[in-house]
Structure 1
Amino acid sequence: MTSTVAPVTPIPLMELTTGFWKFKALAAAVDIGLFAAVHRRGEATAADLVADLGLEPRPLRMLLGSCTALGLLDKDGRGYRNAPPAAEFLVPGGERYFGGFVQYSDRHAYPAWGRLQEALRTNAPTTWDASTQDSAFVAETSSAILENFWDAMFSISSFTADALADAHDFGRHRRLLDVGGGMGPFPVGLCRRYPHLRATVYDLPHIAAKARAKVEGLGLSDRITAHGGDFLADAEFPAGHDVVLLSMILHDWDEPTSRAILRKCHAALPSGGAVIICELVLDDDETGPLPAAMMGLNMLVETRGGHNWTDGEYRDWLTGAGFGDIRTVPMRAAGANAAIIAVK
C-alpha cells in the first residue's frame, strides 16, 4: 500500500535560511533608487536603467530578475514597470512611502538581528547601548542613529490607523490622546475618517516638534496638536480627552512599566472614557500568531524589557488599573492584529 503522507524535505528550512535574500534584494532596490527610476520613465528597459542608475548590465539584470520574481516589477517585452505595491508604496514622495521602513530595517534592525545570539545570552538590546541610555528614544541624538525611524513609523502606522478606524467606532469619542504618538499617523488617519474628532499627540518634546511639522504640512493643525512630555516620567497625562490610544507602546516596556502607564491612562480619563491598546497580540498559549511572536523577538534586540504580550496579560493589567467592559477586536494590519478596548 502506497503511503499518502508527504515526505519531509528541507525545503521549508531552505526558505527560512535564505529569507534574508528577498529582504536584501528589496533593500538594495530601494537604496539605489530602482523604483524611482522606473517611475520617472513610466516604463524602462534594462538599457535605460543602466544609464539612470550607473550599474553594470550584469548586476542590474540579476536585480531586475529578482524584483520581477518578487512581484515588485512587471515586465512587458523588454520594458519594466513598477508593480502595484512598488508604485503605491516604494516611490519616494508619497505620503505613505514605505521605503523609510525598508531602509530603517536594513541599516538599523538588520545588523542588530545579526547579534541575536548576543541578545539571547545577555538579555540586553543590540540596537543601542543600554549601559549609557535609558531607552532608544530619550535622546535627540538617537534620531541620527535611527535615521529613518520616524518616517518609517508614520508609514507603517498609517495603515494600522485605517484598520483601527474600521475596527472601532470613534464616532462616540470627541478628543483622542495618542500616547507616544510619534509624528501623528493615528491622529491624522482617524481625524480624516471622523471629521468631528480632535486629537493630541503626546510624546517627547523633540518628537512632538516633528509631529507639529508633519501635521502642519498635511493641513490638520486646526484639529491635531502636540504636547511635549515624557509619559514615563510625567506624573499625569494631558487632561481633557475621552479616549487614550496606546499603539505599539506597551510592547516596548516591562510589566511594571506597562501597568504604571495604564494607571495613568485611567487617571486621565473621565468616567465612561476608553483606552485602546493596539498591538500584535500573542495568543494566550504563546504558540502564535507568527507576526506577534517575531515582533516579540524583535523587542529583545530593540528594548531593555519589552515583549509582545498575550491577550490575557493585557486584560489582567487593564482590570488591575481599574478598567472594565474589556473586549478584544481582531484587526488585520502590518502593525497590529487586535485592538483591546476597555472603559473607565
Structure 2
Amino acid sequence: MSAAPLMRMATGFWQFKTLAVAVELALFTRLSGHPDRTRTELAAALGIEDRPADLLLTACTALGLLEKNGDTYRNAPLAEQFLVEGGECYFGGVVRFNDRAYPAWHDLGAAVRSNRPLTWDPDTQSTLFSSGDPAFTEAFWNGMHSLSAATARVLAQTYDFGPHQRLLDVGGGSGAFVIELCRRHPHLTATLYDLPHVCALAQDRIASAGLAERVRITPGDFRREAELPGGHDLIVLSMILHDWDERDGRALVRKCHDALAPGGVLLVCELLVDAGRTGPLDAALMGVNMLVETAAGRNYGEDEYVEWLHAAGFADTEIVRFDAAGANGVVVARRA
C-alpha cells in the first residue's frame, strides 16, 4: 500500500491556489484572444519573471487547463469554455470567491470544535446573506451566480420543462437559474423571490439578459413570511435547503407545497448525500463547507429530502441524477 493518496489529499490546496492565481492574472482570458504564445510572451503579458512563468504554465498544463505545442501554449477546451472572462459560461466567479473564503478553512478545526461559522459572525449578523461588507457581497454573489448558472444549464437539458408554464425560484439570488432556464425554454415565465437587497442585484442581470418582460422580481423573506407567492406550477429550490437546519428546511418545503396547485412540481436541486452517508465526495465536502459558511446548515441525504417532501404532503417523488458544478441531482416532487 502506498501513501500517495494521502499525499494528494495533503497537497490538494496546491491545485486550487494554482488555478486561483492563473484566474487572478487573467491567464486564460489573455490566451483566448492570442493563442499559441510562448512562455516569454506570456511572462511579459502577465508582468512576471521567467521562472514563475515556467512553473505556473507547467502546472496549468499538467492540470489540463493549458495545451502545449512545441514552445507555445493555448487554452485547453475546459479553460476556453469556463475561464475566459466575459464568456457565457465563465466560472471564474466561483474561483475568485473561494479564494477569498480560503483563509477561513485554515481554522476548520475551530469550526469543528465550536460549531460556529468562520466567514461571518452570528453575534453581529442575522445570516451569511446579510453581510454589510460590499466587497464580500460582490464576491459572494458573483461566485454564486457562476455556480448557479453552470448548474442551471445542466438541469435545463436534464429535466423536461415542457409541461410547465410559470416558474418560482425561491431564494433565486442574482437570477442565474431564471435566466438560464428561461433562455433555454422560451415558453417559460418566472418569478424570482429573495431578500430585497438581493433582488436589486438580480434586477440588473435579468434586464441585461433581455428577460425583464418574462421574469418578475418579488422581494420577501421565505423564513419569515407565512406564504410564498402563488400562481406557479413549478418551484425550484436550488442550493437553498443546505443553508438551514432541518426545522427551517421542513418549513420551507411545506410552504412550497401549499403554494402549488394540485399537479404542481417542486424541484430540490442539491449535491445529494447518499442514504448511507458515505459520499459522494463532492456532496460530503460541501457539507463541511456548510460548517464553515453557515450557522446550522448541512448537506442532507437524498432520503432525508424524500421524507421531508412526503411529510409535507407531496405524493410522488423521484431523483433525477446529473453531473453539475453545484448539484449531482434533483429530487422531483409532485403535489397530489
TM-score, normalised with respect to structure 1: 0.94
Alignment of structure 1 residues 153-302 onto 2, 5 Å: 153-302=144-293
Deviation string for 1:246-279 (max 9, x for gaps)? 0000000000000111111112111211111011
User: Paired residue for 2:38?
Assistant: 45
1:14 equivalenced with 2:1 (yes/no) = no
Deviation string for 1:15-71 (max 9, x for gaps)? 110111011111011112211222232221112122212111111111111111111
* Higher deviation after alignment, 153-162 or 79-88: 153-162
Distance in 2, Cα, partners of 1:284 & 1:147: 36
Q: 1:285 to 1:143 in 2, by over 3 A?
A: farther
Distance in 2, Cα, partners of 1:186 & 1:147: 18
Q: 1:212 to 1:303 in 2, by over 3 A?
A: same
User: Paired residue for 1:329?
Assistant: 320
SS of the residue corresponding to residue 242 of structure 1 reads strand
Deviation string for 1:262-305 (max 9, x for gaps)? 11111211121111101111111101111111111110001011
Q: 1:142 to 1:236 in 2, by over 3 A?
A: farther
User: 1:204 corresponds to which letter in structure 2?
Assistant: L
Aligned CA-pair RMSD: 1.3
* Higher deviation after alignment, 145-154 or 292-301: 145-154
**How many aligned residue pairs are there?**
335
* Higher deviation after alignment, 172-181 or 221-230: 221-230
Distance in 2, Cα, partners of 1:168 & 1:83: 29
User: Paired residue for 2:62?
Assistant: 69
Deviation string for 1:80-132 (max 9, x for gaps)? 11111111111111122111110101111x11111110000000111111111
User: Paired residue for 1:94?
Assistant: 87
Q: 1:129 aligns with which of 98, 118, 121?
A: 121
SS of the residue corresponding to residue 81 of structure 1 reads strand
Unaligned stretches of 5+ residues in structure 2? none
- Alpha-carbon shift at residue 142 of structure 1 (Å): 4.5
TM-score, normalised with respect to structure 2: 0.96
Give the conservation status (yes or no) of the 8 Å contact 2:223–2:252: yes
User: Paired residue for 1:316?
Assistant: 307
Distance in 2, Cα, partners of 1:169 & 1:35: 34
Q: 1:177 to 1:336 in 2, by over 3 A?
A: same
- Alpha-carbon shift at residue 217 of structure 1 (Å): 0.6
Q: 1:119 aligns with which of 111, 119, 123?
A: 111
Q: 2:298 aligns with which of 287, 299, 307?
A: 307
SS of the residue corresponding to residue 298 of structure 1 reads helix
Unaligned stretches of 5+ residues in structure 1? 1-7
* Higher deviation after alignment, 34-43 or 268-277: 34-43
Distance in 2, Cα, partners of 1:145 & 1:195: 34
Give the conservation status (yes or no) of the 8 Å contact 1:143–1:149: no
SS of the residue corresponding to residue 22 of structure 1 reads helix
Distance in 1, Cα, partners of 2:308 & 2:189: 28
User: Paired residue for 2:135?
Assistant: 144
1:106 equivalenced with 2:99 (yes/no) = yes
User: Paired residue for 1:5?
Assistant: none
Distance in 1, Cα, partners of 2:156 & 2:260: 20
- Alpha-carbon shift at residue 163 of structure 1 (Å): 2.3
User: Paired residue for 1:78?
Assistant: 71
Q: 1:72 to 1:66 in 2, by over 3 A?
A: same
Give the conservation status (yes or no) of the 8 Å contact 2:93–2:145: no
SS of the residue corresponding to residue 148 of structure 2 reads helix
User: 1:127 corresponds to which letter in structure 2?
Assistant: T
Deviation string for 1:205-246 (max 9, x for gaps)? 111111111011111111112111111112211111111110
Distance in 1, Cα, partners of 2:158 & 2:133: 34
Distance in 2, Cα, partners of 1:38 & 1:343: 47
- Alpha-carbon shift at residue 192 of structure 1 (Å): 2.0
